[in-house]
Every structure is written in C-alpha cells, then in structure tokens.
Amino acid sequence: MASLERSFTEVLEAVGEDPRREGLLKTPCRAARAFEFLTAGYRQSLDEIVNDAIFQSEASEIVLVKDIELYSMCEHHLLPFIGKAHVAYIPRGKVVGLSKVARIVDMFARRFQIQENLTTQIADALMHILHPLGVGVVVEAKHLCMMMRGVEKQNSVMTTSCLLGSFKEDARTRSEFLALLGK
C-alpha cells in the first residue's frame, strides 16, 4: 500500500498539483485504498470464491442470474467501465450457490480488464467449476474511457457475449437464453 501511496503522490506532482495542499493531503492514501479495493480480484481465487458451495441438483433447465451490476477498470486507460452481467448455465447434476455467480463476476471485474476478456473469464470459470451442459454470459457496459475522453460518446453501450456448450451448439437453447434476457 505504501508503494501505491508514493505512486499517487507522484501522479499528483506530475499533473502539476501540490500534494501538500490541504485538499490533497490524504488523497494518496485514499486513492491507494480505493485501488486496493478496485483490484481485489487479483488477490482472490475461484476456489476461495466458490468455497464448496456446489450442490447436487436434478435441475436441467436454464439457470439465469440477470442484471449483476459490475464495476471494472479499463486496462488501456485505467478508467472505469460500469454495467451488468447476465449469467446462465444448464446444470449437469450440480448447481452453484446463487451469490457465488455474482462473486465470480466481481472477482474478474475487479482487475484491469477489457470487457471481451471479462465476459469469457466468467463463462470459463462456470464451465470449470460446474461442468454444465452449457454456459451463456452477456455483459453490457458503459466505458468512461469513451465517455470522458476521446470520442466523448455518452450513450454508447458495449455488449459482449460468450456462449459455451449447448448455448453455442444448439440454436434453440441460444434463442431461449436471449428470450429470457429480453433481447
């Protein structure tokens, strides 16, 4: 954390600020704590997130968790992107605790990231822990790197998807998933 504080002090100086002025005295410490939180995914593992919350189940239809809010940081500009993930799977004898789906999303979102990779990482993680018949993940997000700088487009939303197993191979399953999303 001390290294991050020093780095934020240097950033303030590099942009022409005085880190000793009253309003900025504690900013390097606060910014370091914020970055520790925003990058907590680097210090988590899938095993510790899931924590044995995998249960036997006869369920055989789509399990969908919609509108999981996410906050991530663009790895190109270190600016936030904010949105929601929709995560579905078709069980093959096992289901995962509901909150674990959201925790998996958070673990990968709390890393420097691009949305395309985030979407795939979530899908791959569910395939790895559950070995389901299929996984479908759709992420919709607004990127501050496009909103605050560059092209400055306030209303653009990026949508990415990753379809694995039956979601990719079976058009009916894919259509049912998209219908459940209202797409």
Please report the pLDDT score of residue 183 as a whole number: 72
DSSP secondary structure letters along 19-58 = TTSGGGTTHHHHHHHHHHHHTGGGG--HHHHHTT-EEE--
**Residues involved in catalysis:** 74-77, 115, 143, 145
Spatial separation of the C-alpha atoms in residues 45 and 59, rounded to whole Å: 27
Structural domains of the chain sorted by starting position, each given as residue range(s) with its CATH number in brackets: 2-38 (1.10.286.10), 51-181 (3.30.1130.10)
Please report the pLDDT score of residue 102 as a whole number: 98
Q: What is the mean pLDDT of residues 148-176?
A: 96
Spatial separation of the C-alpha atoms in residues 41 and 97, rounded to whole Å: 19
Please report the pLDDT score of residue 110 as a whole number: 98
Please report the pLDDT score of residue 1 as a whole number: 82
Name the percent of the chain lying above pLDDT 90: 98
